Structure 1
Amino acid sequence: MSAMLDIRGLKKAYRRKAALRGIDLAVEEHEILALLGPTGAGKSSTLLAAAGLVEPDAGTIRLAGRDVTGAEASSRDVSIVFEGFNLLPVLNVRDNIAFALRSPKYREAEAEIARRVGRTAELLRIAHLLDRDTGTLSGGERQRVSIARALVRRPLLYLLDEPLSALDLKLREGLRAELRQIHREHGTTMLYATHDYHGAIAIADRIAIIDEGRILQTGTIEAIYARPAEAFVGRLVGSPSMAFFEAELRDGGLLVKGFGAPLALSRFGRLAAANGPVTLGVWPEDIVVGEEGEPGRVYAVDNRGYEVAIQIETPAGSFRKVLEGRRPVGQGDTIRVRIGEGAGFLFDATSGARVSHQGERA
């Protein structure tokens, strides 16, 4: 595959406050790439720059191999959906969706407009709303219309900026499935910005994790799980997210605060750190709860019927873990935890960078 969108060294500041600090990002043709990060991480600025709606201070943007860094937004063949609905109140649903196709730039034939509007409305399950005024629609219905207005075109790239965040869980899940279906049918290319980990893994082929205007890691969720680049990555992905424990490299072993015995350093592969404090990160799935291990206390219990999510406190740190089945556990119970063989990553206690390199060559 070749990159449909290729961003290199992108920088942007607003009133001298840096929003983007040298973004490198490539969206391959026919893929959905999720840009995952918290509020204020730089997701919207990245999409706005790609669309030509803000001018970057430095860096290059290439679309389908063409340098569009300084090009007008109208000359870039992209379609963008924002979190807000942005519908035209004077037009009904049908004409809102068809609006771009009737613009001077596209001027599609009315028969083709009718076909594409009808097909897109069917995919998003709003065909029965086509003759309704937008003011009579629910929030979920308006967002479907907003998405339909973008999808009815066939641009080189779709830019979706938190398009589902204002909707309830059931609507979000339904629309994610419909976006995936549209992607399968038409081979579209999408850059999907979200703060929602579950939404990212449900729709995306790959994920790019962004924080404070920097891309921290890009890859499939499997690759990110296998080698998280930074502690922040572990805090953002996973359900529950990574468990972290205070630890120290000393005398050829890893001493975890409150643990009875040190962990062998051989399990962490090559180390890029000397003696001193580190953070041990472990995916909760790799922590065994049972009769053996280090003591902890159940701080909170979330009974979900078919499973139980518990928060466990230890001297080295607290974490959440999901227990399958109806396991009897109560708040305040003493529980024992053990880190599975070969599991865990070491991170620099200050910078958060991963310093253990299991299975990686020097």
Structure 2
Amino acid sequence: MAEIALTQVSKRFGAVKAVDDVSLTIADGEFVVLLGPTGAGKTTTLRLVAGLETPDDGRVFIGGVDVTGLPPAARDVTFVFQQYSLYPHLTVFDNLAFPLRSPTRRTPEDEIKRTVREVARLLRIEDKLGNRATQLSGGQMQRVAIGRALVRRPAIYLMDEPLSSLDAKLRSELRIELKRIQQDLGATMLYVTHDQTEAMTLASRIGVIHQGRLVQIGSPRSIYEDPADIYVATRLGSPGINLLPRALFPDVAAPTEAVTIGVRTEHLAIARACTGAVTGKVNWIERLGDQNHLHIDVNQRQIVSLVDPDEGLGVGDEVAVSLRKPLFFAADGQRVR
């Protein structure tokens, strides 16, 4: 395995700056997830590491070696794409073995068999090795696509939203499998997604990207609890963070520059209305089994709060609202403390 380092890397496509002065180091054995919406520059960053794109500025290092000018084949990386990209006429075994049979990486057949069976066991598809790719379910096909990257044992694994085309149950299952495999192999992985759940559950560190810039990078917990600005705060959390005008809670101590208060659903304390408190009315309740989300109108502002289902509150109830662990943002969206 190897370290990845991007130093002041930029990439333009015409007038669009897809990647803007990104510097990022990924340690050996780390699982780093780049999180952002479509068009943020995530995939372009991945392609720059793979050598599928050449940076206009900056350098790319893998294992301490400057690979900026090297072709993809010389970088010892594998790339898992969003689509399965399997050979439909080949069996699962032959799809998995294909990288090991290429002229540049010719491997003895006995070693191919051993490696393919080991990877199939890791992915729990050893009973499918004789099937053609067209006979597999979506989840099985994605496992094969991931397995084709694993058989190579490269320095770096690059993954471009590999779970996004699967249904919710399969995505949940494969997230667990992928994290387990990464830890078992001690693999260095750079993974891009727009899905906050994938980022939170998979990553050692999350890098949040906005308009080609790396806005913030840190552990999932630090990104969630200590966002650098409103953009980062809104990328994580379901339901999303409540963004409220400072004037709505005049009694809350806040920095003088603060114009917006951010508060997570679990950091709103809700109780039956009492004299002197900020009050609102319950408009709607989402019942999620072990918890409820209350949708509350406070002075014509909508707030979502997480409460225990045994709280006993109903639609139309007047409630008192108070804040725990509020976050404060200036007029430009930057965090103030």
Moved more, 47-56 or 8-17: 8-17
Q: Does 2:330 correspond to 1:348? A: yes
Structure 1 pair 319/163, CA: closer, same or farther in 2 (3 Å)? farther
Q: Does 2:333 correspond to 1:334? A: no
Aligned mates of 1:37, 1:239 — CA distance in 2: 15
1:68-107 alignment, distance < 5 Å? 68-107=67-106
CA RMSD between the two structures: 1.9
How does the TM-score come out when normalised to structure 1? Answer: 0.87
> Residue 2 of structure 2 contacts residue 188 of structure 2 at CA under 8 Å; is this kept in 1?
no
> Residue 176 of structure 1 contacts residue 199 of structure 1 at CA under 8 Å; is this kept in 2?
yes
Which consecutive aligned stretches of 4+ in structure 1 deviate over 6 angstroms post-superposition?
none
| Aligned equivalent of 2:253, options 264, 268, 272 | 264
Secondary structure of 1:229's aligned partner: coil
AA aligned opposite 1:118: R
Q: Deviation digits for residues 285-323 of structure 1, max 9, x if unmatched?
A: 221111353112333321112221222232374332221
> Residue 175 of structure 2 contacts residue 198 of structure 2 at CA under 8 Å; is this kept in 1?
yes
1:114-263 alignment, distance < 5 Å? 114-247=113-246, 256-257=247-248, 259=249, 261-263=250-252
AA aligned opposite 2:311: R
Q: Deviation digits for residues 194-245 of structure 1, max 9, x if unmatched?
A: 1111111111111111111111111112222342101111111123332111
Aligned mates of 1:155, 1:171 — CA distance in 2: 26
Aligned mates of 1:125, 1:156 — CA distance in 2: 23
Q: Deviation digits for residues 230-280 of structure 1, max 9, x if unmatched?
A: 111111112333211112xxxxxxxx23x4x43223xx5xx6x3xxx7111
Structure 2 gaps, min length 5: none
Q: Does 2:317 correspond to 1:318? A: no
Q: Does 2:31 correspond to 1:8? A: no
Aligned mates of 1:179, 1:62 — CA distance in 2: 25
AA aligned opposite 2:205: R
| Aligned equivalent of 1:279, options 246, 251, 260 | 260
AA aligned opposite 2:84: F
AA aligned opposite 1:197: Q
Hey, what does 1:110 align to over in structure 2? 109
Aligned mates of 2:235, 2:139 — CA distance in 1: 27
> Residue 240 of structure 1 contacts residue 322 of structure 1 at CA under 8 Å; is this kept in 2?
no
Structure 1 pair 313/71, CA: closer, same or farther in 2 (3 Å)? farther
AA aligned opposite 2:138: G
Name the one with the larger helix percent. 2
Q: Does 2:10 correspond to 1:26? A: no
Aligned mates of 1:127, 1:167 — CA distance in 2: 21
Sequence identity, in percent?
40
How does the TM-score come out when normalised to structure 2? Answer: 0.93
* Number of equivalences: 334
Q: Deviation digits for residues 20-60 of structure 1, max 9, x if unmatched?
A: 11112221111101111111111111101110011222111
Aligned mates of 2:302, 2:233 — CA distance in 1: 14
Aligned mates of 1:25, 1:216 — CA distance in 2: 11
AA aligned opposite 1:280: I
Hey, what does 1:360 align to over in structure 2? none
Structure 1 gaps, min length 5: 248-255, 357-362
Hey, what does 2:56 align to over in structure 1? 57
